[in-house]
Amino acid sequence: MAQAPELMLDTNTEPTPLTPAPAPIQRAAGQPLVADVAVTSTRQSPDAVLATYKRAPGEIVRGEGVYLVDSDGKRYLDFVSGIAVNALGYGDPGLVATLHAAAEGLVHVSNLYETAPAAKLAAALVERSFADKVFFCNSGAEANEGAFKFARRWARTIGEVKHEIVALRGAFHGRLFATLAATDRPAYRLPFRPLAPGISISERNLEDLAATLDAETVAALIVEPVQGEGGVRVLDGGFIRELRAMTKERRIALIFDEIQCGLGRTGTLFAYERFGVEPDILTLAKPLAGGLPMGAILVTDEIAQTIKAGDHGTTFGGGPFVSSVALHVLDRLSDPALLATVRENGAWLGRQLEEVARRTGRVRAIRGVGYMWGIDIMGSASHVVEAARELGLLTCTAGECTVRLLPPLVTTREELAVGIDVLEQVL
């Protein structure tokens, strides 16, 4: 069966010279990026925290620019950015000022009352996107769960049995019951069966999808334009356009999950802009509020008109404090100059990673776009992550053999070069 092709490198845009950044920290080969910084640890016993995370050793106490600092004063160049959350890095003056200003006003009043910040943020998202209406929530998983509800509510106006949700092989959409059912990670799913019914995973090819997307029973297809946890797989533009045509013909809502790949990470404000298509529903979260918990569901007017008062709700979503901060972040991430730099540096980064692969002979494949890259290595990705951390570079995994790079969107080319140097030493 024909597989949906993956974009291995995004090199269509030639880089242009950037304003020189401060010189990166100089160090001898193999030596970690350590600064002589005295930091007082506030570390407490971790025993009271539920052990759902396998955390790296040490305690992170502060950040500056694109670096994090631990309680021993060691600096780390951050190519994780809070798992694609901290797009503006750390200690950004504009973000800090916005946080302080927002804290002087209302923090929370619930959605029983209207507040201006949420209305302004929704209007800004609508103005910049395909959408007509926006629902705010608190996380990416909540955004996807809400998107499933909205899709089913709309689909039931077409046919009573039209309720199924279909996801793609390699998908990661969250860890709640419905989103977990749409997540292609057997180890995550098995302990919690039975999962939410009416949700299935299809192979990532047009033949299987043509058979699976039944016009009578399927309400929605959810797609990550760039699969993050699934190994940083950039879906082919032709494949995406075929899916858009198929879902339109069969009156199936197309949901784009841009929780990790959206809001500038691919070099466009929304990842769907790269493909020349528009979804019916779009989910956002991670960088939206600069590190504060916030998600959003963007929908067309056709779907919005089927949602009635009481169909969905949230206590905290769209609160005035978090919405004020998110509006600042959205304005910053919409900056054409920033987006152009992400595209240019991303293309350059891809070429540098190809050179690292050639020189080391330890890389099977490289996939990515913008500031979102996956490196399939010969061996354990977690070992590479650990070794890089020892040398002062933070990376993360996307599966057993894939090292994932998600630097803040403000990372300069010089800082990217420092990270590539460390990665090559490890490989």
What digits encode the pLDDT tens for the residues 373-406? Answer: 999 999 999 999 999 999 999 999 999 999 999 9
Greater pLDDT, 7 or 295: 295
239, exposed or middle or buried, with CB in 10 Å at 0-12, 13-18, 19+? buried
Contact, 182 vs 173, CB < 8 A?
Answer: yes
**For 384, what's the count of Cα atoms within 13 Å in the CB-facing half-sphere?**
29
What digits encode the pLDDT tens for the residues 316-332? Answer: 999 999 999 999 999 99
The reply to whether CATH 3.90.1150.10 applies to domain 22-84+336-401+417-426 is yes
Give the pLDDT of residue 404.
98
User: What are the sequence ranges of the domains in the chain?
Assistant: 22-84+336-401+417-426, 98-333
Q: Decide: helix, strand or coil at residue 231.
A: coil
Q: How confident is the model at residue 43 (pLDDT cuts 50, 70, 90)?
A: low
| Cα separation, 127 vs 122, whole angstroms | 9
| Cα separation, 334 vs 357, whole angstroms | 33
Q: What is the mean pLDDT of residues 349-373?
A: 97
DSSP 238-274: HHHHHHHHHHHHTT-EEEEE-TTTTTTTTSSSSGGGG
Give the pLDDT of residue 33.
52
| Cα separation, 89 vs 379, whole angstroms | 30
- By residue count, the chain amounts to 427
Question: How far from 367 is each of 5, 9, 87, 277, CA to CA, in Å?
Answer: 12, 6, 20, 22
Cα radius of gyration rounded to whole Å, the chain? 22
Contact, 280 vs 255, CB < 8 A?
Answer: yes
Q: How confident is the model at residue 23 (pLDDT cuts 50, 70, 90)?
A: very low
HEC profile of 154-185: HHCCCCCCCCEEEEECCCCCCCCHHHHHCCCC
Q: What is the mean pLDDT of residues 403-422?
A: 98
Give the pLDDT of residue 47.
80
The reply to whether CATH 3.40.640.10 applies to domain 98-333 is yes
DSSP letter for 80, please: S
Contact, 251 vs 215, CB < 8 A?
Answer: yes
